[in-house]
Amino acid sequence: MAQINFGGIDENVVTRDEFPLAKALEVLQDDTIAVIGYGVQGPGQALNMRDNGFNVIVGQRQGTASWTRAIKDGWVEGETLFSLEEAAERGTIVCNLLSDAGQIALWPMLKERLTPGKTLYFSHGFGITFNDQTGIIPPADVDVILVAPKGSGTSLRRLFQAGGGLNSSFAVFQDASGHAYEKAVAMGIGVGSGYLFETDFKKEVYSDLTGERGVLMGALAGIIEAQYQVLRQRGHSPSEAFNETVEELTQSLVPLVGENGMDWMFANCSVTAQRGALDWKGRFREATLPVLNELYDSVASGEEARRTIERGSTPNYRSELEAELKEVGDSELWQTGATVRQLRSKAAEKVEELG
């Protein structure tokens, strides 16, 4: 394990240098890794582990779109692709990559197949942390570990194929064998992590739920809608409001901030933009701090989990969700975005033709 300084604070992380792929393969050489669920994280993790040389099988409901996708990805029915029940039976490391709602619904089936000595693997701390609501309480004689890539399964796969890696957190909830830590790290290397930082199940889910409701999605969507609305109400055209709110953010600024940091961005823009951003960032920070603290409290109290489980389990949730998403997609803001993306695509095609 390496010690790396993050902003003045030393943290222990695991990199591929001290825990190479060969070591991960050795740790898990006798294991059959059963990926249960082939939806969001399943494909990326399963394919990366397969390409890395691990013994991987997939469990999925036959006749679903995810089953068809698994077939297209090269999983063979009866050899590497099985029903959820059979895959869970065959696996010595059972990767529970179902949705949070799916994990609750299928926990009785999965628990029945967690015989002594097996390992239960998660990529989200939700089910374990909020087990008073989910009912997910593992048997005492199995290891329980977590590897949570910090991004979508699509990003995990894309970066792996490009020779890189998505950073992941890892944790051990239950060490029945005395080797859970090594298994967790080996799985993290196997799924294609760039580096691994240690956490626990509770911190993983608290940070994850806060992040996706905050900066990563909820706050981002909200502040985009607010700025677009202000510009439109002040007489700006849809295209101008969108370009100044979304297009420049996503196509220019965010990639540069990711590559070089916000300090670099401030140092490499016009004096007018630089001065304005520095003068106003504190106002936005102070305005949003109370909301983010309220959000974190809601996560830590279990209220966000309760609402998620309650809403997700209603019979008409899917149709209600589709209506909510349609309202977003049909808004002037995102209809304008669709047109801008089409123009961007046509411009790229033109460049390719000229090249």
Residues facing 11 on adjacent strands: 4
Catalytic residue among 124, 157, 183, 232: 124
| Burial state string for 198-223 with b = 16 or more CB within 10 A and e = fewer than 16 | bbbbeebbbbbbbbebbeeeebeeee
Tokens matching residue 4: 């790396």
Whether 208 has a binding-site annotation, put simply, is yes
**Cα–Cα distance, 315 to 319 (Å, whole number):** 9
Whether 270 has a binding-site annotation, put simply, is yes
Whether 212 has a binding-site annotation, put simply, is yes
**Cα–Cα distance, 117 to 92 (Å, whole number):** 8
Whether 353 has a binding-site annotation, put simply, is no
Tokens matching residue 247: 């297009």
Is there a contact between 49 and 190 (Cβ–Cβ < 8 Å)? yes
How many other CB atoms sit within 10 Å of the CB of residue 72?
A: 8
Task: Show Cβ contacts of residue 320 under 8 Å, excluding neighbours closer than 6 positions.
Answer: 314
| Burial state string for 162-188 with b = 16 or more CB within 10 A and e = fewer than 16 | eeebbbbbbbbbbebeeebbbbbbbbb
Whether 327 has a binding-site annotation, put simply, is no
What's 302's DSSP letter? T
Catalytic-residue membership of 179 = no
Annotated binding residues for Mg(2+): 208, 212, 244, 248
> Which residue numbers belong to the known binding site for substrate?
270
Positions annotated as catalytic residues are 124
Binding residues: 208, 212, 244, 248, 270
